[in-house]
Amino acid sequence: MWKAFVSVTLFAVFASTMTYLDIFNNVKTDLGLKHYAEKQHFKTIFPLWMKMPLNTFINLGYIVVGAYWCAITTLSLENNLISEVESYIFYVFNISSAFYGAIQTLRIITQKHVFAVLDQWCTLPFFMLVLIWGLHLKYGWSSYRAAILITISMTSYTLTLFTPVGFEIALGCHILLAVYGGATSYLQNPNNKSKINFFLAISCLIGFVILKLIDLELPKYHDCFTIISGHFMSKICDIFQIHYVNEYFQSLLIVRWQKSNFMQPNQLNKNEKMKSTKTKITDKQKAE
């Protein structure tokens, strides 16, 4: 876990340094309460600096789901259900989730450009990790391949320096690559549970995108959406998306583990039968 924690921390430090050096000063980000449908309805309950309480507290979900799956990963590793490499991917993915929750909270509370940039930038490697996961299950682990893909992912954010829709282009490509990674890994160990988790993850992804896009439109239909906003509900979808991605890869690894453990006894029985047959033939030849 510590190796994964250091990896994520180094990325966060690098991204933070690049952001504070004002390299991305001209990147287009949505700042200000006008970009959110949630209004401050509970002024007597929450402090004045907490303009959007639900959009603030929901980010704890990223930390909770990340911590939960780190615990599951530790148990799986102790019971030899996953390898060291696979536990590293799980840890990186879920520690990233916790970091992302903290960055999102800072963005919502402060509405500062630096945290908006970090929020966008940290989203991209999240999706690239799903592709790395999928390629690992299909071709085996390659540190070289993983390093190249993460580097490409991090570098792709520089598209924001050339076009106002640079982030949207990079994110769209990352989403397609993540879906490909998930689909290609399924073909290695197809099973019903993984299929269900795959479609649940995709459904949450679609819900996340749509609800975020219609955040400012929903209050036109009912005032309740200024409290339970589209942005808030999109974050719920995003958190469940992370959960189901974990469920998906865990189910694939469990099926693979079951296959390997069922095959070994069968292989042993087959070897014993072959050995027994050879012994009988040898004994028969000696008798002759």
User: pLDDT category, 265, cuts 50, 70, 90?
Assistant: very low
HSE-up (13 A, CA, CB side) for residue 158:
8
Cα–Cα distance measured from residue 268 to residue 260, given in angstroms and rounded to the nearest whole number? 12
279 is written with which tokens?
């012994």
Would you say residue 50 has pLDDT above 90? Answer: no
Q: Give the residue with greater pLDDT, 269 vs 80.
A: 80
CATH architecture entry for 2-287: Up-down Bundle (1.20)
Residue in 25, 182, 40 with CA at minimum distance from that of residue 113? 25
- Residue 270: other Cβ atoms inside 10 A: 10
Q: Which of 93-102, 217-226, 266-275 has the lowest mean pLDDT?
A: 266-275
Would you say residue 268 has pLDDT above 70? Answer: no
pLDDT attached to residue 30: 85
User: pLDDT category, 262, cuts 50, 70, 90?
Assistant: low
126 is written with which tokens?
């999240």
Instruction: Supply angle C-alpha 23, 29, 30, rounded to 5.
Output: 155
Percent of the chain with pLDDT over 70: 88
CA distances from residue 261 to 53, 72, 141, 173 in whole angstroms, order as listed: 49, 21, 21, 38
Chain position carrying tokens 């087959």: 270
Would you say residue 263 has pLDDT above 70? Answer: no
List, for residues 157-201, the tens digit of each pLDDT value.
999 999 999 999 999 999 999 999 999 888 877 888 889 999 999
Residue in 61, 67, 75 with CA at minimum distance from that of residue 235? 61
Would you say residue 36 has pLDDT above 50? Answer: yes
Cα–Cα distance measured from residue 242 to residue 94, given in angstroms and rounded to the nearest whole number? 8
pTM here is 0.85
Cα–Cα distance measured from residue 174 to residue 170, given in angstroms and rounded to the nearest whole number? 6
Phi, psi of 283 (to 5 degrees): -65, -40
Would you say residue 278 has pLDDT above 50? Answer: no
Average pLDDT over residues 105-132: 92
pLDDT attached to residue 83: 85
pLDDT attached to residue 170: 94
**How is residue 35 annotated by DSSP?**
G
